[in-house]
Structure 1
Amino acid sequence: MTDNQQQLAKVPEVTLLFWVIKIAATTLGETGGDAVSMSMNLGYLVGTAIFAVVFLAAVVAQVRAGKFHPLLYWTTIVATTTVGTTLADFADRSLGIGYAGGSTLLLLLLLGSLYSWHRSLGSVSVSSINTPRAEMFYWITIMFSQTLGTALGDWMADTAGLGYTGAALIFGALLMVVVIAHYASEISPTILFWAAFILTRPLGAVVGDFLDKPHAQGGLELSRYAASAALLAFMLVCILAFRQRAAQSAH
């Protein structure tokens, strides 16, 4: 590995473009996950198995890559969102854990992952993602955050009675609080990054549900396939048309 590669993490620099693509990816995860498990009638368990294989393959490719590759990175992110969607739905609905129970369990797993990561490597900053060990912690943490986001989004939209638009406004407002804190407070940028990263997932979940759920449930009842294709096309345009740089490594 060259000196230049050692100065770069294997994740993208956190910019406005990063967050735009991240929200699109989380929304795609919801519509894509529902398309396989519901529209194709494969069920949550089979859908989870399919997306888990894709996720593992993408993570292996990402860890083995010598440097940051935008298409590979965002493919892995989408894989975490789709498997997170079907896994959360399987736990919440098929296993009967419920949204509250599922969200609580996943939050504990997420916090445990961050704690173990920090205890092992001393940092959970994205600028430190330049070793296989750090990458594994990173993707495990993201996996938990994406699954948590699905459960949390469904909990707020359904159980809390906010509906998809109401839940989207709540999560959007919370994201704005994080943005304001970034510019107007001295809170650690790493803490704010993970707060925003976690919040974008339930936002994408409720927006995805709003797009493809029936009118009777407060959705637009769009085709899950069409919505997924449009979101994928939007992501590809963003990735291919705008250059993304790797985050500067802290090491």
Structure 2
Amino acid sequence: MTRKLPHVTVVFWILKIAATTLGETGGDLLAQTLKVGYLTSTLIFFAMFLVSVVFQLRARRFHPAIFWTVIVTTSTAGTTMSDFMNRTAGLGYTLGALILTTCLAVIFMIWWRSGQTLDVENVATFKGEMLYWVAILFSNTLGTSSGDFLADDAGVGFRNGFLLLAGIMALLAAAHYLTNINGTLLFWVAFVLTRPLGATAGDSLSKPLDHGGLNWGTEGTSAALLGILVVLAVYQIMHLRRHPLEPVPAPVNRRTGAPEQLNDDRIVVPVPRSAEAPGASVALDGAPARPRHIPRSLATEPES
């Protein structure tokens, strides 16, 4: 099975920050500038998220356009959902962030106990990908609350908040390359932090001058960010045509070691080393077959 999730590279992080920043300005554009309101905007963006994530779950391989559309919808939905909780419902940034942190911790606990891999590059099962997207939705919502808390309640401001978070991201990058800290842990810490980084960056660009912003407005900022996102996504598509992603490793349950069912319900069975045709697959009767995906019910496990 080919990979459905991208490798975590510099381009990935640039796209993620652009997408989360667009999520901030896009959410504010609909909820505030167009006066749709936080609750209605949340329902609209959540519906868009559900539609896009269904396409992602049904895809057989990584499609940058689909993947980044889902990321943007989680960011916009996270923005308006957080603002509804903190402002309309009156929970405040501190309580809102505490509730969302608890929810995210519960999601990761469920993910851990499920035995699904936490290595985001190698998620290959339906359950694992569902947990991945739920975690992203809540992490983006938490990131919005954290960014607003930092800029408003903590009194740091948009620009200083952005610089502070950018510094923390640089430290995480250094920890990844210079230490033995678990890469999955560093990824999720960085992933959550890109949301407040994007939130403070978006507010720094769109808010009026007397609020510490550059007064680009939500329309201009969103248009510029959308252009950047499209250009980078096209670059990623062209790169994948020249350098396709390698197949994802066969998934196994992390706790039991048992084989897991692939998201598309197909497996590839490699032929034993003693077979004549390299790269062939093995059918139920053990005869070499053409290398291809075959139904699970017709496959046998490879010889050790």
Q: Identity rate of aligned residues, in percent?
A: 44
Alignment of 1:121 onto 2:115 = yes
Q: How far off is 1:246 after superposition?
A: 4.5
Alignment of 1:183 onto 2:177 = yes
Q: Give SS of 1:11's match.
A: coil
Which consecutive segments of 4 or more residues in structure 1 shift more than 4 A? 244-248
Match 1:172 to one of 161, 166, 173: 166
Determine the C-alpha separation between the residues in 2 that align with 1:65 and 1:166: 40
Contact 1:121 1:134 in 2 (8 A): no
Contact 1:163 1:218 in 2 (8 A): yes
Q: How far off is 1:157 after superposition?
A: 0.4
Q: Which moved more, 1:212-221 or 1:145-154?
A: 212-221
Alignment of 1:84 onto 2:83 = no
Contact 1:52 1:83 in 2 (8 A): yes
Alignment of 1:162 onto 2:161 = no
Change (3 A) 1:247 1:224: farther
Q: Give SS of 2:5's match.
A: strand
Determine the C-alpha separation between the residues in 2 that align with 1:250 and 1:160: 45
Pairwise mapping of residues 96-245 of structure 1 onto structure 2 (< 5 A)? 96-242=90-236, 243-244=239-240
Q: How far off is 1:248 after superposition?
A: 5.9
Q: Deviations over 1:106-148 (max 9, x none)?
A: 1111111111111102421113322211111000000010000
1:45 maps to which residue? 39
Q: Deviations over 1:90-109 (max 9, x none)?
A: 00000111100011111111
Q: How far off is 1:169 after superposition?
A: 1.2
TM-score w.r.t. the length of structure 2 is: 0.78
Contact 2:6 2:121 in 1 (8 A): no
Contact 2:208 2:217 in 1 (8 A): no
Contact 1:127 1:247 in 2 (8 A): no
Letter aligned with residue 24 of structure 1:
A
Q: How far off is 1:34 after superposition?
A: 0.3
Q: How many residues align?
A: 245
Determine the C-alpha separation between the residues in 2 that align with 1:246 and 1:200: 25
Q: How far off is 1:250 after superposition?
A: 4.3
2:13 maps to which residue? 19
Q: Deviations over 1:195-222 (max 9, x none)?
A: 1111111000011111111222111121
Letter aligned with residue 169 of structure 2:
L
Change (3 A) 1:63 1:180: same
Q: Which moved more, 1:191-200 or 1:121-130?
A: 121-130
Alignment of 1:69 onto 2:63 = yes
TM-score w.r.t. the length of structure 1 is: 0.94
More helix by share: 1
Change (3 A) 1:247 1:127: farther
Change (3 A) 1:113 1:15: same
Determine the C-alpha separation between the residues in 2 that align with 1:112 and 1:177: 27
Determine the C-alpha separation between the residues in 2 that align with 1:112 and 1:9: 27
Q: Which moved more, 1:234-243 or 1:189-198?
A: 234-243
Q: How far off is 1:174 after superposition?
A: 1.0
Determine the C-alpha separation between the residues in 2 that align with 1:39 and 1:247: 44
More relative contact order, 1 or 2 (CA 8 Å, 6+ apart) = 1
Structure 2: gaps of 5 or more residues: 251-304
Cα RMSD after superposing both structures: 1.3
Q: Give SS of 1:194's match.
A: helix
Structure label with greater radius of gyration? 2
Change (3 A) 1:248 1:22: farther
Contact 2:42 2:77 in 1 (8 A): yes
Q: Give SS of 1:14's match.
A: coil
Match 1:56 to one of 38, 50, 60: 50
Contact 1:128 1:134 in 2 (8 A): no
